[in-house]
Amino acid sequence: MKQPVRMKNVYVVKSSSPDIDERHGELSTKNLYLLKSDDQAIHRYSDTVIDFVDRDGLFLVVSQDKTFFLNFRNSFCKELEIDQGRIRLLSSTKRALEEIPVYREYGKKPFLFLEASLDGRSTLPLVEEIKSRFKDMFIILLSSDADEKVIARSLETGADNFITKPVSVNILVEKVANTLEPRDEVGKMILEGKRRLGKVEFALAYGVARDILGIKPGSPAGLMIMGDALKGLCKRADALKMYLQAAENAPMYLEPLKKIVEFHKEDGDRDEVLSYLTRIDELSPLHVERKKEIGELHFERRDVAHASEYFAEAVQIMHQMKQPECVTQAEGYADRVFRENNKAARPLLQLCARLARLNRVELDGTVHNRLGMLLRQEGDWRGAVKAYTLAAQRLPDDANVLFNMGMAYVEGKDYGSAAQRFERLLRLHPDFHLDNVQAAYVMAQVLVKADRPKKAEALLQHLLAADPANPKVKALLDSLG
């Protein structure tokens, strides 16, 4: 074995596997460290990596983590003797989108190492864009957090692999090699089966799947290839059986479930589509578009409360991904839900208000007015006043906002503040009460309690003229003396 090598800000540690975690604690986080338990992984997988580079391959690291990049470059250059020019650092997703097409135009094969988050924003949209443009391009996502939900979402988006930092050179080499070329025979056969499907050679793909299942009975990947082949051969019922069996054999494997969803969509079975989309969402809950789709299906079934929950979850994920349009999306969903079931809209309205504040976006006062109405219904008059105050900042002269805010103060028995809002309302909209007897009577009561007898009398005289026999109006008018 080689002797430990000391480089500037680089520590090469050779130990048995159980000692690795202890070594992590000994190293300064400001330094670059390279953990090596043995050389076997490097020797076993190096040929695959070197062969990729020899065939015009290169590695692009889209990251602001210079420690990881230097670790990667120095170890690959030293251990695999790869030229430094084949390992490049890009500091932004914009640079990646600019450079990748150029490399490919000149016959190069970029292999992307991409941070799962850059500048506080998820890079999953970039993965989707790159995979849509360059389906054969390899992408490994990097993260310091091994969150299972994030990993599931990343792989579903199209990432070929996932690495949690810090990482040893052994793992780096092994991940790259296994991404480039499966080591086992079944893995190679799976690639062959997918290639046959891509060429619409369904009978040949079926034969490959049969061979896979002969070697590895119950293989989910083999069942998937067989299902796709059978579907291509117009044997839909048999294809569905393969997808269902694959899903049963690998409960965490999303692809069979997605195939089943597609199958039921083609058959127009919306109930089964919703059922399987919900199962997928439980396994990979960070997919915005799927949340929206589930919400729409619930909305379509008039299950507005569940629709509201999924819409809210979709908007929250958009916010976590630093997408400012999340506010507009939340506002649109809140409006739709409120029209169908105003109580179900409260979480969306509150979320909308919170996201608008966090993203420094001004909302239409209607959102705050509606939220105030719902909070009043729930007995939270103070919360309602706050919501109406925000609504009044956008709609300072709106009659409904002023009246609703006054009513919130009434429920809190703050008659002085309520009277102030009613006075402003009557000053700006002197005809407001003419077609609303109940509103006029309530305002008159409040004005009396707030010691505004003259303004209360004007309202009561109007009510008495409309209904001379109204005993409540006459009694309140008589109390003014």
| Paired tokens of 108 | 């190069």
| Paired tokens of 22 | 């202890």
Domains with residue ranges and CATH for the chain: 6-180 (3.40.50.2300), 183-267 (1.25.40.10)
The Cα 262–Cα 65 span in angstroms is 40
The Cα 98–Cα 87 span in angstroms is 17
* Of residues 396, 330, 395, the one with CA closest to residue 365: 395
Q: How far is CA 153 from CA 171, 216, 224, 253, in A?
A: 22, 27, 20, 12
pTM of the model: 0.69
Q: How far is CA 103 from CA 46, 81, 96, 98, 136, in A?
A: 23, 22, 10, 9, 14
Going residue by residue through the chain, which has 481 residues, state the pLDDT in tens, using 9 for 90 and above: 334 333 322 222 222 333 323 323 322 222 233 334 445 667 788 888 999 999 999 999 999 888 889 988 998 898 888 998 899 999 888 888 889 999 999 999 999 999 988 887 888 888 888 988 888 899 999 988 777 777 777 777 788 888 888 888 888 888 898 888 876 788 889 889 988 998 999 999 999 999 999 999 999 889 999 999 999 999 999 999 999 999 998 887 888 999 999 999 999 999 999 999 999 999 888 889 999 999 999 999 999 999 999 999 999 999 988 888 899 999 999 999 999 998 999 999 999 888 888 888 878 788 888 998 999 988 999 999 999 998 998 888 899 999 999 999 999 999 999 999 999 999 999 888 887 888 889 999 999 999 888 888 888 888 888 888 888 888 888 887 6
End-to-end CA distance of the chain: 106
Q: How do beta strands 6-7 and 10-14 pair?
A: antiparallel
The Cα 312–Cα 70 span in angstroms is 41
